[in-house]
Homo-oligomer: A and B are copies of this chain.
Amino acid sequence: MKMGESVEWTLHCATVLAALPDGAVLPASALAEFHDISESYLLKQLRAMTAAGLFASIPGPKGGYRLARQPEAISLLDIVLAVEGDEPAFRCSEIRKCGPTASSPSAYSATCAIHAAMWNAERSWRASLASTSLSEITRRIGRSLSAEVRAKAQVWFTANVRA
């Protein structure tokens, strides 16, 4: 089981956008540069985040991206599902209905116990991500930043943020 690397990119981009002053935006090129990742690959994720109502895209030469909601109202689960899709990781194809014991549909009224247990585990995973807001993550990152990183980030934000 593996998440795409773009989940990491998008989560980090969200924390950068959460640090912007009200009304300010960052262009995709700056978000890509900040993380040293490919802008063309990142654009796909930025569009997915905008489609999911998590990022807002402001067009034009002074445009860019900002959060579409307050960071308190965006959970890690919102971001992960926007990038990876909402389907559960375990996809039940109902193989219990195949082979030599295949029976009439009425024989399978109860959910497959394997399917139910796998979904139960995914629910725990989703609940953990849903209970963690982007604002909480940015607070934790803020507390852990060294003076050196903080100073470099301030210079970079001043040069790249669009009001």
Interface residues of A, Cβ cutoff 8 Å to B: 1-3, 5, 7-9, 11-12, 15, 33-37, 76, 80, 84, 87, 89-93, 95-96, 98-104, 106-108, 110, 112-114, 116-118, 120-129, 132, 137, 140-141, 144, 146, 148-149, 152-153, 155-156
Bound complex: CA A102 to CA B129 (Å): 28
**How far apart are A86's CB and chain B's nearest CB, in angstroms?**
10
State the oligomeric state as a number of copies. Answer: 2
* Also in contact, A95 and B35, with CB within 8 A (given A89-B89, A101-B156, A149-B101): yes
20 A-B contact pairs sorted by A residue (CB < 8 Å): A1-B1, A1-B2, A1-B89, A3-B90, A3-B91, A9-B95, A12-B95, A33-B99, A33-B100, A89-B89, A100-B156, A102-B152, A106-B146, A108-B146, A113-B140, A113-B141, A114-B137, A118-B129, A124-B124, A125-B125
A49 to B93, CA, bound (A): 21
Asked if A103 and B3 sit within 8 Å, CB to CB, the answer is no
- CB pair A107–B146 under 8 Å, yes or no, is yes
Decide yes or no: A98 and B35 within 8 Å by CB, A103-B148, A117-B137, A148-B103 being known contacts: yes
Q: Which residue of B has the minimal Cβ distance to A95?
A: B35
Smallest beta-carbon distance A3→chain B, Å: 5
Complex: how many Å from CA A90 to CA B128? Answer: 14
Docked CA distance A39–B8 (Å): 37
